[in-house]
Amino acid sequence: MDKFRIESDSLGEKEVPCDAYYGIHTIRSVENFRISGIVMSEEMLKSIIYLKISCAKANLELKAIDERKGEAIIMASEEILKNFEKYKAQFPIDIFQAGSGTSLNMNVNEVIANLAVEILKKDKGKKIVHPNDDVNKGQSTNDVMPSAIKISAYLLSENLIRAMKNLENALSDKGNEFKDILKSGRTHLQDAVPMTLGQEFQAYGRAIEKDIERVNFAKKFLEELAIGGNAIGTGINTPPKFRDLTVEYLNLYLSKKFIPAKNGIEEVQFLTDIANFSSALKMVAIDLNKISNDLRLLNSGPYAGFNEIFLPAVEPGSSIMPGKINPSICEAINQVCFKVFGNDLTITNCCAAGQLELNTHMPVIAYSLIESIKILTNGINIFAEKAVKGIKANEERCKFYAENSLSLITALNPILGYDKCAEVAKERRKTNKRSREIIIEKGYLSKEEVEKFLNVKFLTGQNKKNSGNL
């Protein structure tokens, strides 16, 4: 039995494995782009297939395709979606490929076409269902790729937002739990005025809440799709209702509310909506990284650091130092954030590099954006469950720092003036006496007045609006 079949295109002939559903275009792309060994994500491939089904259904309704072929394309596409693991190896092309993603689009077209041929009881490679004329009918790589990127990001964002909401709730719950635990604030990693540990965690919760708003706002722009615009967005070679019908079928299939492009030409060549969504992910990563860093500092010690909180122990921290426990989850989150930063820079540069009627850097945009969403989603879930929800407070250490902060003297600025307060702070540094003691010795205030004005709990501002009160 032959191991290969011969296929031809405008450049000549190639051997294709007999058992392969892909064809000659895929073979050429595999040979041309041996770069990273990284193939396109499952989510992007499935989004392209959703578009193929929707276009086939629109073509059938408009009688623009033979009924048997159209039904076979739909059946083949649904079979791949249902049993993706079975067909996963049929999509072998490196993510670093032709910039519009023609290699990827044709790979999908060929696999669907040959599976459709089998459904029609014919041999693979016969082009009874043609990858270009039938599977790709009414489409171009140029409108398929940006649409599939948006669909992938939109669908994945739903899990991301749920993960972020879970983290926001976990941080806010800790804010309530720690609402009466006094501690010192810190600016420039130096003593600052007092606050509560609860206020600190409520601020973290609010930051994530705002990030959710940013992601939701950016997500709205993902709803507008280029599909139906064909080569440059004008809709060449498509019936008048094709664009609207395709999106209608897509929405029926996914139970979503995507809309056709308001300007098809703009939607094909400008990928700013995608860059905008990546930027929202970067904002999430900025805040997540800062919170992770803070928790690492607050957990530092136990005897040579702040030691204000206890993060859950998840693994031994050292291969040589017995008993050492590291903030491993926070460190993993830092690395997730740095990867998102890098992906955003890649996406920004790629989206900015479009020329005239097309952007030619879409495969790496797709891979990078999907990776960012997935690692953020998984990382945030792990962060909430394995770090934040298990945090315990070292109330005694927090109270000690609150009552001994050098910057506690700030509360007396309105009473003694800045210069006298600076003098007290300077003497405290020199003598290591408590500020209260120095103030009384100098006769600036009585003991009763000092206790009144340096009431640490009062100084946290919890009785004031917008002070982070709980």
Rounded average pLDDT over 297-308: 96
Rounded average pLDDT over 181-198: 95
User: Do the Cβ atoms of 9 and 19 come closer than 8 Å?
Assistant: no
Percentage above 70 pLDDT, the chain: 98
pLDDT at 1: 60
What lies within 8 Å, CB to CB, of 292 at 6+ separation is 330, 331, 333, 334, 337, 383
CATH superfamily, region 143-395: Fumarase/aspartase (Central domain) (1.20.200.10)
Mean pLDDT of the chain: 95
Tokens of 368: 């990078």
Torsion sign (Cα): 54, 58, 59, 63: positive
Rounded average pLDDT over 30-58: 98
CATH superfamily, region 19-137: Fumarase/aspartase (N-terminal domain) (1.10.275.10)
**Segment 445-470, tens digit of pLDDT:** 888 988 888 888 888 887 665 655 44
**Segment 208-239, tens digit of pLDDT:** 999 999 999 999 999 999 999 999 999 999 99
Query: Domain locations in the chain?
Result: 19-137, 143-395, 405-459
Percentage above 90 pLDDT, the chain: 87
User: Do the Cβ atoms of 409 and 424 come closer than 8 Å?
Assistant: yes
CATH class given for the domain over 405-459: mainly alpha
Angstrom distance (rounded) from CA 227 to CA 267: 9
Residue 91's identity, in one-letter code, is F
Positions annotated as catalytic residues are 318
Question: Residue 263 in 3-state DSSP?
Answer: coil
Helices 102-119 and 67-82: crossing angle in degrees, nearest 10, is 110
What lies within 8 Å, CB to CB, of 257 at 6+ separation is 223, 251
**Segment 17-29, tens digit of pLDDT:** 999 999 999 999 9
* 3-state class percentages of the chain: helix first, strand second, coil last, to nearest 5: 60, 10, 30
Tell me how far the alpha carbon of residue 97 is from its chain's centroid.
Answer: 24
Angstrom distance (rounded) from CA 160 to CA 380: 8
**Residue among 305, 223, 297 nearest 267 (CA):** 223
Angstrom distance (rounded) from CA 339 to CA 367: 13
Element (H, E) at 378: helix 362-386
**Segment 151-181, tens digit of pLDDT:** 999 999 999 999 999 999 999 999 999 999 9
Rounded average pLDDT over 144-153: 98
**141 HSE (CA, 13 A, CB side):** 20
355: left (phi over 0), alpha (psi -120 to 50) or beta: beta
pLDDT at 470: 42
pLDDT at 463: 65
pLDDT at 464: 63
Give the model's confidence band at 123: pLDDT under 50 very low, under 70 low, under 90 confident, else very high: confident
User: Do the Cβ atoms of 94 and 39 come closer than 8 Å?
Assistant: yes
Angstrom distance (rounded) from CA 341 to CA 294: 19
pTM: 0.94
pLDDT at 454: 86
Residue 364's identity, in one-letter code, is V
Angstrom distance (rounded) from CA 324 to CA 172: 29
Angstrom distance (rounded) from CA 122 to CA 134: 16
Residue 264 has pLDDT above 90, yes or no: yes
Tokens of 126: 């016969």
